[in-house]
Structure 1
């Protein structure tokens, strides 16, 4: 069968490109959980490509045409598709910063459909529930064949629907790029999967998988560029992008505020306890700021501005709300020594500026206003 050569060639090309991506990911210094799962996803897809090569060689008669080989060639492909879809769902939840997914028990529970599919595939040789060989020796879908389709599509669609609902939320502008990526990721694999079901000797799925993984990798790398590696909050560049969008478009009934947070006597703590302790302080203060900005109607963008300074861009109705938020941040930071056992007191100064849409100014001028108020607050604290 002449198609076998081209089928194998296409999958070998995809294996090579995905192996290169895997090398780049594993070579990275900053090993986050999302990075680990992205690597795992690529490993499973590489294994799937090898399984497809095995299937093509069996289907083309190059490895024989026994019933056992025919079943095995399909078991591997179906199993790996299900596992890949499951890993993608876990990865999408991690990228959306869902804490529940970090539990081992939760991940096991979510994997139950994969185990059910695996059991049906492995026992199909005897039961024929998901597929069987007809009298002509052709593989035919059984009574429960639909399960093999529903499980992977279910994982993909569940992740997609959840992410897209967040992408269109006004309160989640900062993460919108990631949410859109997760939301549209399944489109290519699903469409090309349907095409391969219609023309099953054309390697549509391997191309779709490669395109989707490349898209995720590029988006993931872009996201890393916008995240401060120490505190895992937005960096200054991402803050500028956010401010440009917000300063052009006012939400009705809301004003735009900027809070600049500076850690008091940070240099002396660094000099006394070392830079390692200083890094811990920065992470703890970042978490304290994030905790203060939680809420069902939160409209806060949090970023590290540089050194020991953080910025919160907030949409609020009144300046009093911004002052209240500043007090919440201060109180959260003051509690850090008690919660962590630090041998020193910890406090922050907070400067506040309100943007006037009727008299627009530059981003630098807006920041300067908040910085000027920060200077006044710092003098009061000393």
Structure 2
């Protein structure tokens, strides 16, 4: 009965991993982070298969049963260390987004795993990690705890990297992502503690499977709500957020919608190329992130070279101050002269409730109209 339940739990974990693998592989473009995550999924799948298989073969005495049992244990313990190492590598890359840096650190990351691998591969002869009795029954060796200890060292290491990153960044969307990475260890650790009290159930791996699923869901949510080029909120999320704010009847301040557009963006693309156009968009997004950092203002890429901010202020003067702050930082950035061209913004805004504005479309339309009035005036003045 216990064996059946153990195997059923492993099968459920395997099915979760297969489902996630299928979803990741459906992506149009598989980036380096996706490949790392796929490696974690495949490793977890192999781990769950070997964990479910060894309990079925334990105690059987047909020809070759002991050899198969040895192989399953070798695979299982190797993958236990591997999944910890891969999680650390994945966390490092998600935080730093630097393949070269990761390659330089890889040899240090792999050292504990190298020690563990020697202990595992020698176990059929030394019994350091595990041994099998004559009747094909598994026994833990004197260094048995090393395999789980090293796996958790990697998870703790990754959690520390993520928590340090949380402390260093002021960007809320990154904080959320890093906290998800840092909390990965919680469920496997809780499962391990409970498993120590209740033997016969793979609770560590149940916790691991759920943690992987949480990371996947969080990543999917990021991709649904974030703009791929700039990392800020996308238009789809903007529309949802704005709709929510407009329906909030307990709002204490006035709601404003600010729309911004890069001047002469087509000329930048035509003169310097579309890659340089992307650089200009990223540059403006960086400035707007700096302005909105630490506030409750909602920043999004509206589309193309347009950006939007949804904010609450006491009056129009406070919005004017925000607009002037953005313009000042853009001017300072241009004066720094670190690019081949200057980038300027035309900015228009509207207040919800003014001039009969009663819905999202009217609010955006009014801000858009004012933006293009400013843009046309600049063109007439030769700016």
Q: For this structure pair, what is the TM-score category when the shorter chain's length is used for normalisation?
A: 0.7 to 0.9
SS at 2:233's partner residue?
coil
**What is the match of residue 99 of structure 1?**
97
CA contact (8 A) 1:301 1:313 kept: yes
Matched, 1:378 2:379: no
Equivalent residues, number: 367
1:282-333 CA distance string (max 9 Å, x none): 52123213554569x8668653112321246799xx9778645534435657
Go from structure 1 to structure 2 and tell me whether the alpha carbon gap of 1:314 and 1:84 turns closer, same or farther (over 3 Å shift): farther
Q: Is residue 261–residue 311 contact of structure 1 (8 Å, CA) maintained in 2?
A: yes
User: Structure 2 CA distance, aligned partners of 1:84 and 1:174?
Assistant: 26
Q: What is the aligned-residue RMSD (CA, Å)?
A: 4.8
- Match for residue 226 of structure 2? 227
Aligned mate of 2:282, from 269, 275, 287:
287
1:190 counterpart = 2:189: yes
Residue equivalent to 1:203: 202
What are the Cα deviations for residues 234-279 of structure 1, in whole angstroms up to 9, with x where unaligned? 213444677899999xxxxxxx998754222234666x589xx54x
- In the alignment, the residues of structure 2 paired with residue 208 and residue 94 of structure 1 have an alpha-carbon distance, to the nearest angstrom, of 23
Matches within 5 A, 1:109-258: 109-131=108-130, 139-142=139-142, 144-163=143-162, 171-239=170-238
Q: Quick check: 1:349 aligned with 2:345?
A: yes
Gaps of 5+ in 2: 249-254, 313-317, 353-357
Q: Indicate if the aligned counterparts of 1:285 and 1:333 stay in contact, CA closer than 8 A.
A: no
Please say if residues 178 and 219 of structure 1, whose CA atoms lie closer than 8 Å, have aligned partners that are also in contact.
Answer: yes
Alpha-carbon deviation of 1:59?
A: 1.8
Q: Distance in 1 between matches of 2:365 and 2:107?
A: 51
**Within the alignment, does 1:23 sit opposite 2:19 as a pair?**
no
1:381 CA displacement: 4.1
CA contact (8 A) 2:257 2:367 kept: yes
| Post-superposition offset of 1:26 | 0.4
- 1:29 deviates by 0.9
Alignment CA distance shift 1:325-1:25 (3 Å): same
Q: Which residue of 2 aligns with 1:47?
A: 46
Given that 2:169 and 2:175 are in contact with CA atoms closer than 8 Å, whether structure 1 keeps it comes out as: no
SS in structure 2 of the partner of residue 185 of structure 1:
helix
Q: In 2, distance between residues paired with 1:31 and 1:320?
A: 43
CA contact (8 A) 1:301 1:312 kept: yes
- The equivalent residue for 1:326 is 327
Partner SS, residue 188 of structure 1? helix
SS in 1 for 2:228: coil
1:303 partnered with 2:300: yes
Deviates more, 1:102-111 or 1:34-43: 102-111
Residues in 2 aligned to 1:155 and 1:238: alpha-carbon distance in whole angstroms: 35
Does the aligned pair in 2 maintain the 1:51–1:77 contact within 8 Å? yes
- Alignment partners' CA distance in 2, 1:113 and 1:245: 49
TM, length-normalised to structure 2: 0.72
SS in 1 for 2:210: helix
Unaligned runs of 5+ in 1: 249-255
Using a 3 Å threshold, how does the CA distance of structure 1 residues 192 and 65 change in structure 2: closer, same or farther? farther
Q: Distance in 2 between matches of 1:237 and 1:107?
A: 38
Structure-1-length-normalised TM-score: 0.72
Aligned counterparts of 1:303 and 1:198: Cα–Cα separation in 2: 49
Cα distance between partner residues in 1 of 2:259 and 2:331: 12
**Aligned equivalent of 1:266:** 265
Question: What is the match of residue 355 of structure 2?
Answer: none
